[in-house]
Amino acid sequence: MANSLWTFSNVLSISRVALLPAILYVLFLNTHIGTILTFILLSIAALTDYLDGYFARKWNQVSEYGKIIDPIADKICVGVMGIAFVSVEKLPLWFFLLIISRDAIILLAGMWLKSSKKIVLSSNRMGKWAVTIVACTFLLALFIPYQQFSVQFLIYCSTVMLFVSFFQYLQRFYKIIFTDSR
């Protein structure tokens, strides 16, 4: 397990957050080219989410830092983009509030586990799938109003995945607290 903060994988996670100002700038241009550039930059950010874990495992750079940085980068990106998409009326407010509420609870529970039990939980598979479907929802909502069936379908799929992954996080949390196993 790598102990360095500055592994390639962690730099990829940090770069996802570093892309946010550029993504917001082109999104708020509110032009066709701005939409295309937003799509490209969001796609690059989403790709870094997969590549960071891939390279961490491939190069044996899985670290406690990475287990913290990656999900926090995800939550920052999804939160900032959620605010932006709601403000430009690309996604409904309730969907953003659902995402943020889930992420805040998971983040606070993770912080509690780290401080009280010295345990850092990595993201779970369903959480990664939930973030993937949310990212696809964002990407499609760039081009199609969220009231259209295709975006509505992805919003509801995202909602289901968010609840399923949240339930799995709760199960892991409960297991650690009451059985003291990971």
Amino acid at 68: I
pLDDT at 89: 94
Give the tens place of pLDDT for each residue, 152-179: 999 999 999 999 999 999 998 888 888 7
pLDDT at 56: 84
Closest CA to 159 of 176, 172, 146, 178: 146
Q: What is the CATH T-level fold of the domain 8-179, as seen in this structure?
A: Four Helix Bundle (Hemerythrin (Met), subunit A) (1.20.120)
CB atoms within 10 A of CB 95: 21
pTM for the whole thing? 0.85
Give the tens place of pLDDT for each residue, 66-123: 878 888 898 899 999 999 999 999 999 999 999 999 989 988 888 888 888 887 777 7
Where are the domains positioned within the chain?
8-179
